Structure 1
Amino acid sequence: MNALDIKHTRAHQGLARVYHLKNQRKSAYDEMTKLIEKARNNASAYEKRSEYCDRDMAKSDLSMASQLDPLRTYPYRYRAAVLMDDHKEKEAIAELTKAIAFKPDLQLLHLRAAFYESMNDYISTVRDCEAALCLDPSHADTVELYNKAKERISE
């Protein structure tokens, strides 16, 4: 008897990862679909499956993940990144702001600071960097972004 025979969720995730590494995205997606069918209402499974499909399907999976567990931050980060790619900066910032409202963590604050910096909003960049540095004063990427934004404000 193996892990797949007993329907162990980690086995499906692992097999999906192997397919993905072999560049077999459809097989990876199908394997995660099997997991979703067995482990209903599993936000993590939808989140993970989103990594193995095209953008539109990923959006749908991440929307479902947010419905099942609104406090997961990955769907917000992903949606924000897609919005930035589509040059919808304000919407991307709003998406991150939703997540920061319930979980003000380093990654979210740093990402929003980087988005502000790309929009030349250096005051907001500094604000988010300062908040992130309260959580981890030695985070090198945030320190670098903070110093860069402070220089821009001084110009």
Structure 2
Amino acid sequence: MEKSPLDALIALREQELDLVERSFAEAVAREAAAEGQLDAAQEEILSEQRIASSPTAGDGAVEAFSRWLPLGRKAVADAQDRCREAAVDRETVRSALIAARAAMEAVKTVRQERQEEERQADLRKEQNVLDELSIRQFGKG
């Protein structure tokens, strides 16, 4: 069977969809990694706070914590920024994924419609042949 332009377009849409699906998976992974970094930064603050507030901690531990805390908060803020950026990236790629899926479905629908039109045309031809045979065999009328 000869390939139609729609078949070629479907092949291109499949490649596009595959690429966008991989991009989406990568964006989700980047977002998960950013969330992991945020969790780690927040946990580090809590851990350092537990150490500084331990009954066995001296004044030096408390002072060290108070000097370190702005760096810990900056790490959290930076991680939050990365999470927001990753979420925006994921949503952007998600939109592209939705568009790619819709484009694929549109082309497949057109192909199905064309196939149905061809099937109907074949049925009409077959009926015309049967009608002609009937006319030849039984005459007009």
**Coarse TM-score class (shorter-chain normalised):** under 0.3
Question: Which has the higher Rg, Structure 1 or Structure 2?
Answer: 2
